[in-house]
Structures are given as structure tokens and as C-alpha cells.
């Protein structure tokens, strides 16, 4: 008996009841629907780069993804074929539409405070924060100091960064402080040391994450590397990973899960790009021991396609994920549970470049068929704990 919790980062399904309280470029998220709008774009022939035609997700739809989407946002995209899995739509109560808020609550702990967000102004950061960056890094200034998309920051400030040695510091609508620096000209370890030293200062302000964003290349051709590292606040109470580990079972983190939870309750981490992560998840389907939890995050839906408002790329990635998933399901053991969900939305058709406040799908293989209805994020953790026979804590209730 094992559990696999897989997060399709940012694959929201619309319908959040409080979307009007969250904004992108001053526009409320009311009506944002990541999956629904991608489906619509594909059906209209508006997502034809590297793929063609209607969105093709036979594996996820058979598990109930489209039924969950209709439940969340009142659409009519599912056919009359009964899904082969459990399916439902989850609503978040934490005040945020970011990675830590979504993952913590999926792991059983709604965020118990309000995150600190930096204003969408230039400069965005208090002088004492940027002074501390300069002191730690041994430089005389920082670049950007504003809200922005990471790839845009590299295009605008990368050359000046190489010339001056000043780190590129930027933020977004999330509770985050990001620092981009060139792996060779600035130094990868120097960047990581800077972020690690700075993180406790920002955490005291309730800034959720300090993120190292290393890149390589030359002006006009900068690219991020796979050496990103998130320095996140440690959850203040035990979460799903702790519950499982404390019960004597092994916990595997695939992707950025280890960073999100500051390694609390985690035995082993496997990283890489999404293609590599799918390989790690496939290996763990074969190798993970009885009683174990594998917690995986596939980030490229969000990082490569959502933030960049790339509808075709997002659709391609969904279709790739769906095809890979079919092979995993065929190799599950009889008493395994594989639960697929998301942490927030990032509608690539929406205004701005930030996450969108949405409900998320919950589809489950290995635990029967039928609707779960409207559930909470924390119910995911409680249900996985019930499946593994470990004690859960917090507000979640098992749907098993």
C-alpha cells in the first residue's frame, strides 16, 4: 500500500469563490480558468504551435478531470462516459495563490498567517532589504528592484548584471524575493550562499520564499539553468510528510517539494526538469517501498507556459503529461493510490503574468470510482493519511 501525490503546478480549473479578491495587473481573477481556457483555445484552433486540434487528454479525462472542471466552474466539457477514478474540485482557504500556500494546504496545513507582499512599484523593496543584499554579496547595488517576469528580467538586466556584478532582484504578486545571477560571472555558489543568508531575514517578514535564479549565456541569449533553489519558510506545524515519516514510512520528494517544505519530513529528493522528474516518478512506481509517500511537483506548466502566457506550450505539456501518465497507471500495484491535483491556477489567456486564484482538480486512481464533490485542499492530506493508515492532523477530512 503506497501513495503518490502528484501536483500539476498551476493547472487550475476556475471557479474559486473568492477570485474577485485576487488581481493580475489590477484586473480581478474572476473568471480565470486555466484548463477551461486552454480547452477553448485548442478547440478554436488558437493553440497550434507544436501541436494541433482539440486538447487530447484521454488518460486524465478518463480519471475524471473534465468532470472535475465542470464541477468547479460550471462548464460542460465532460462527456457522458463515467470516469474510472474518484474525481472532485478542491477549494483553498489559505490567503494566497502561490506555491507554499497551495502545497502546505494540500499537505494538511492552511497557512496560519497573511503573507507579506511587495508593492508593485519601483523600487519594490525596502532600502534595508536591498542594503542587506549588498552587504552579503559584497556589491554596491542591485538591479531591477521591481515586479517582473524572470525571463524579461534577464533580457532587460542580464548584460548590466555581467558588467556591474550587481544581482538582479525582483518579485511578483506572490510572496517571494527572487535573485537572478549568472553562474559564471557571479558564481552559482555565491548566489546560493546569498539567498540562504538572506532568507531568514525575509522569513521574519513573512515573505514565503527567497529564490535563487541562476542563468547562463551571453547578452541576447540568456537561459535559466536547472540549479534553481527555493529557500522557503518551514511549516510551523507538522504536515503530511511529517505524519508519514513519523509513522515510520519513507517519504520521497520529486521536484521542488523538498524546497517548498524546507526538507521537513522528507527522506530523499530527486530533481531535474519535468522530463527527468517523470523518469524519477516512473522509477518510484517500481521501487518505492510499501507504506511510502511519493510527493511530486511538475513545475513547467507554471514556469515555462503559465507565466509566459504560452497557450500552445501549456497545451503541449498537458498532452505530454497525459501520455506519460498512461504508462504509470498501468504499473501501479493493486493497493496503490495515485492522486493528481494542482496548487493554484496560472491561466495563460489571462491578463498579466501572475498566478490566478482558482479551484483545482482532484482525480484519484486506485481507490474506486465516483464523485467527491466539492472538497478542501486539506482533505487531500487527510485522505492520503487514511489510505496509508497514519494519523492525520488539522482540518482535513478523508474522502475515502
**Binding site feature residues:** 9, 302, 307, 343-344, 355
pLDDT tens for each residue of 315-352:
999 999 999 999 999 999 999 999 999 999 999 999 99
Known binding residues for Mn(2+): 9, 302, 307, 343-344, 355
User: For 16-55, where are the alpha helices, taking DSSP H only?
Assistant: 34-43
Q: What is the CATH number that goes with domain 2-112+236-388?
A: 3.40.720.10
Residue intervals of the chain classified under CATH 3.40.720.10 are: 2-112+236-388
Kindly report whether the peptide bond that precedes residue 123 is cis, defined as omega within 30 degrees of 0.
Answer: yes
CA nearest to 309, candidates 1, 46, 14: 46
Residue 159 Rama label (left phi>0; alpha psi -120 to 50; beta): alpha
Residues of the chain with CATH 3.30.70.1250: 127-232
Q: Which helix (H) or strand (E) holds 8?
A: strand 3-8
Grid cell at residue 136: 552579503
Domain 127-232 has CATH 3.30.70.1250: yes
pLDDT tens across the length of the chain (400 residues):
999 999 999 999 999 999 999 999 889 999 999 999 999 999 999 999 999 999 999 999 999 999 999 999 988 888 889 999 999 999 999 998 999 999 999 999 999 999 999 999 999 999 999 999 999 999 999 999 999 988 889 999 999 999 999 999 999 988 999 999 999 999 999 999 999 999 999 999 999 999 999 999 999 999 999 899 999 999 999 999 999 999 999 999 999 999 999 999 999 999 999 999 999 999 999 999 999 999 999 999 999 999 999 999 999 999 999 999 999 999 999 999 999 999 999 999 999 989 999 999 999 999 999 999 999 999 999 999 999 999 999 999 999 9
- Beta bridge pairs of residue 254: 270, 296
Amino acid at each position: 500500500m503506497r501513495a503518490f501525490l502528484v501536483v500539476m503546478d498551476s493547472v487550475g480549473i476556475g471557479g474559486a469563490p473568492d477570485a474577485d479578491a485576487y488581481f493580475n495587473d489590477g484586473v480581478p481573477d474572476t473568471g480565470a480558468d486555466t484548463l477551461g481556457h486552454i480547452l477553448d483555445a485548442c478547440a478554436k484552433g488558437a493553440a497550434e504551435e507544436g501541436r494541433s486540434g482539440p486538447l487530447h487528454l484521454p488518460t486524465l479525462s478518463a480519471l475524471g478531470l473534465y468532470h472535475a472542471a465542470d464541477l468547479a466552474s460550471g462548464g460542460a466539457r465532460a462527456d457522458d462516459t463515467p470516469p474510472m477514478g474518484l474525481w472532485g474540485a478542491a477549494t483553498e482557504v489559505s490567503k494566497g495563490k502561490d506555491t507554499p500556500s497551495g502545497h502546505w494546504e494540500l499537505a494538511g496545513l492552511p497557512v496560519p498567517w497573511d503573507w507579506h507582499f511587495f508593492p508593485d512599484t519601483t523600487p519594490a523593496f525596502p532600502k534595508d532589504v536591498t542594503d542587506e543584499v549588498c552587504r552579503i554579496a559584497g556589491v554596491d547595488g542591485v538591479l531591477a528592484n521591481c515586479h517582473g517576469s524572470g525571463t524579461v528580467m534577464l533580457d532587460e538586466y542580464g548584460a548590466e548584471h555581467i558588467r556591474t556584478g550587481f544581482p538582479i532582484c525582483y518579485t511578483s504578486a506572490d510572496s517571494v524575493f527572487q535573485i537572478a545571477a549568472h553562474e559564471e560571472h557571479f558564481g552559482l555558489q555565491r548566489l546560493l550562499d546569498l539567498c540562504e543568508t538572506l532568507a531568514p531575514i525575509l522569513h521574519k517578514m513573512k515573505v514565503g520564499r527567497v529564490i535563487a535564479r541562476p542563468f547562463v549565456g551571453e547578452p541576447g541569449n540568456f537561459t535559466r539553468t536547472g540549479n534553481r533553489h527555493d529557500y522557503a519558510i518551514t511549516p510551523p506545524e507538522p504536515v503530511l510528510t511529517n505524519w508519514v515519516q513519523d509513522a515510520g514510512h519513507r517519504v520521497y520528494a520529486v521536484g521542488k517539494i523538498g524546497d517548498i517544505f524546507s526538507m521537513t519530513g522528507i527522506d530523499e529528493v530527486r530533481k531535474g526538469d519535468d522530463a527527468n522528474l517523470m523518469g524519477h516518478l516512473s522509477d518510484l512506481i517500481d521501487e518505492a517501498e510499501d507504506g511510502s509517500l511519493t510527493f511530486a511537483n511538475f513545475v513547467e506548466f507554471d514556469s515555462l507556459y503559465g507565466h509566459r502566457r504560452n497557450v500552445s506550450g501549456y497545451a503541449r505539456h498537458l498532452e505530454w503529461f497525459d501520455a506519460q501518465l498512461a504508462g504509470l497507471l498501468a504499473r501501479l500495484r493493486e493497493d496503490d493510490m495515485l492522486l493528481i491535483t494542482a496548487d493554484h491556477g496560472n491561466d495563460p489567456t489571462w491578463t498579466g503574468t501572475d498566478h490566478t486564484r482558482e479551484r483545482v482538480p482532484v482525480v484519484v486512481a486506485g481507490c474506486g470510482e465516483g464523485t467527491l464533490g466539492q472538497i478542501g485542499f486539506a482533505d487531500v492530506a487527510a485522505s492520503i493519511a487514511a489510505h496509508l493508515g497514519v494519523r492525520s492532523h488539522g482540518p482535513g477530512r478523508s474522502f475515502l
